[in-house]
Structure 1
Amino acid sequence: MAFKLEIGQYFEADSPIHALDARVKFCCAFAAMIALFCAATPAQLAAGAAFSVGVVAASRVPVGRVATSVKPLVFFLTFLSLFNLIFVQTGNELLVAGPVRITDGGVWAAILYSVRFGLALMVGSLILLTTTPTELSDGFDAMLAPLARLGLPAHEIAMVFSLMLRFVPTLADEASAILDAQAMRGGGFDEGGPVRRVRAIVPVIVALLAGGLRHADGLSRALDARCYEGGEGRTHLREQRLCACDAVAVAATVAFIAAMVALG
Structure 2
Amino acid sequence: MALRIDIGQYYAADSPVHALDARVKLCCALVSLVAVFCASNLPQLATGATFTALALGLSRVPAGRAIASVRPLLVFLAVLSLFNLVFVQTGDALASLGPLTVTTGGVRAAVTYTARFALALVLGSLILLTTTPTQLADALDRLLAPLSRVGLPGHEIAMVFSLMLRFVPTLADEASAIVDAQALRGGAFDEGGPVRRVRSLVPVVVALLASGLRHADGLARALDARCYEGGAGRTHLHEPRLGRHEAVAVAATAAFVALLVLLA
TM-score, normalisation: structure 1: 0.97
Percent identity, please: 68
Q: CA deviation at 1:30?
A: 0.7
- Residue 59 of structure 2 contacts residue 130 of structure 2 at CA under 8 Å; is this kept in 1? yes
Q: CA deviation at 1:64?
A: 1.5
Q: Which amino acid aligns with 2:96?
A: V
CA distance in 2, matches of 1:177, 1:25: 36
Report the counterpart of residue 123 of structure 2 in structure 1.
Answer: 123
Q: CA deviation at 1:147?
A: 1.2
Per the alignment, in what secondary structure is the counterpart of residue 190 of structure 2? coil
Structure 2 counterparts to residues 71-150 of structure 1, below 5 A: 71-150=71-150
Per the alignment, in what secondary structure is the counterpart of residue 102 of structure 1? strand
Q: CA deviation at 1:239?
A: 1.2
CA distance in 2, matches of 1:234, 1:105: 54
Per the alignment, in what secondary structure is the counterpart of residue 7 of structure 2? coil
Report the counterpart of residue 197 of structure 1 in structure 2.
Answer: 197
* 1:89-123 Cα deviation digits (max 9, x unpaired): 22222112322221112111111110111101110
Structure 2 counterparts to residues 9-28 of structure 1, below 5 A: 9-28=9-28
Residues 176 and 97 (structure 1), Cα distance of their counterparts in 2 relative to 1, 3 Å cut: closer
Per the alignment, in what secondary structure is the counterpart of residue 231 of structure 1? coil
Q: CA deviation at 1:82?
A: 1.3
Moved more, 188-197 or 244-253: 188-197
* 1:19-61 Cα deviation digits (max 9, x unpaired): 1111111110011111111111111111011011111111111
Q: Which amino acid aligns with 2:147?
A: L
Per the alignment, in what secondary structure is the counterpart of residue 101 of structure 1? strand
- Residue 8 of structure 2 contacts residue 165 of structure 2 at CA under 8 Å; is this kept in 1? no
CA distance in 2, matches of 1:34, 1:155: 25
TM-score, normalisation: structure 2: 0.97
CA distance in 2, matches of 1:235, 1:188: 51
User: Which sections of structure 2, spanning at least 5 residues, go unmatched?
Assistant: none
**What root-mean-square deviation, in Å, do the aligned CA atoms of Structure 1 and Structure 2 show?**
1.0
Q: Which amino acid aligns with 2:161?
A: F
* 1:164-197 Cα deviation digits (max 9, x unpaired): 1111111111111111111111112111111111
Q: CA deviation at 1:69?
A: 2.5
| 1:233 maps onto 2:233 in alignment | yes
Moved more, 125-134 or 87-96: 87-96
User: Which sections of structure 1, spanning at least 5 residues, go unmatched?
Assistant: none
Q: Which amino acid aligns with 1:37?
A: F
Report the counterpart of residue 261 of structure 1 in structure 2.
Answer: 261
Q: Which amino acid aligns with 2:219?
A: L
